[in-house]
Amino acid sequence: MSQSFTANHHNSLSDATALRRKVLVTGAAGNIGSYFAGHSHDKYALTLMVHDNDEEAKKLEQFGEVVTGDITDLEQMKQLCQGMDVVVHLAADPSPSATWDSIRELNIEGTYNVFVAAKAAGCRRVVYASSIHAVSGYPADVQVKTSEPVNPGDLYGVSKCFGEALGRYMAEQENLSVIAIRIGSFQPIESVRKESGIGMVDAWVSQRDLNQLICKCIDAADIKFAIFHGLSDNRFKRLDISDAKELVGYAPEDDASKEIPQVKELELNQKVGAHSMQDGGQKSGLREEI
């Protein structure tokens, strides 16, 4: 775990303050951004950056100041970052099948611009939307920890590895705090409850769980750099989420195995053993000695 995060002060990962932070959200009209805006505007003073001022963008006006911007324009990003405490960088080409031209422009150059603009404007932190695709090249039966090497399963994943590496550089060498969240299958609970939800059994992150984690990452006081895995508390997890639990107090509320119809009826949480003293009726050989 020590390889995947850095604290500003040794042994000092303190609780967040109650400060109403000014937060710039790129890609605010997307699925994650619009949910975050709708559920966190009371907590933060939001500037919601959209690419097009369309009907979806207009819906965001009730949650904060909506601005039109382009992450490929460095000078514009510098202006938008002025006065911000935190930048939540969600804007990207989100398709695992995206072409190199699109990935290079948005996910590589655009991400570079956001980090540089945040640093130039004196922002405190960037919360970077990475992806499970940064490590999806590992076999399906491997639970990936944040301290293990990246292993992207596609070019989209490669672009997210770039963002993580750039984020660490900015944190360690340029003194801009960065937290990267490797986001799993972000879907509303209605989607995971369908028969097709079985495909998300080990990778689902609910809307409210990811929103909680983003807020924890905005507020955490003394983290210089970290990578966290953004999954719900699924009975079977493709990614290990213990770092986020321990370092920022992430407490996911949802579990795919309790929602997916084919899995829910199996009652795995009651039937699958822990193979330890957590299993009912198992006694410790130590008890007679103490």
What pLDDT, on a 0 to 100 scale, did the predictor assign at position 271?
60
pLDDT band at 164 (very low <50, low <70, confident <90, very high): very high
pLDDT band at 137 (very low <50, low <70, confident <90, very high): very high
What pLDDT, on a 0 to 100 scale, did the predictor assign at position 12?
42
Q: Is 156 annotated in the active site?
A: yes
- Residues 14-43 have a mean pLDDT of 89
What pLDDT, on a 0 to 100 scale, did the predictor assign at position 53?
83
What pLDDT, on a 0 to 100 scale, did the predictor assign at position 11?
46
Q: pTM of the prediction?
A: 0.90
Residues 6+ apart with CB under 8 A from 278: none
Q: Helix-strand-coil percent breakdown of the chain, rounded to 5?
A: 40, 20, 45
111-120 helix and 155-174 helix, angle to the nearest 10 degrees = 20
Pairing of strands 223-230, 5-7: antiparallel
Beta strands in the chain (DSSP E): 5-7, 22-26, 45-50, 65-68, 86-89, 125-131, 177-183, 185-186, 204-205, 223-230
Residues 6+ apart with CB under 8 A from 127: 86, 87, 88, 89, 178, 179, 181, 214, 217, 218
Checking if the pLDDT of 26 tops 80, the result is yes
Question: What does the DSSP 8-state code read for residue 49?
Answer: E
What pLDDT, on a 0 to 100 scale, did the predictor assign at position 5?
73
- Residues 2-18 have a mean pLDDT of 57
Checking if the pLDDT of 274 tops 50, the result is yes
Closest by CA position to 126, among listed 113, 138, 137, 136: 113
Checking if the pLDDT of 279 tops 70, the result is no
Given the residues 128, 156, 169, 250, select the one marked as catalytic. Answer: 156
Domains, the chain, with CATH or none: 5-260 (3.40.50.720)
Q: Which two three-digit tokens encode residue 40?
A: 């966190």
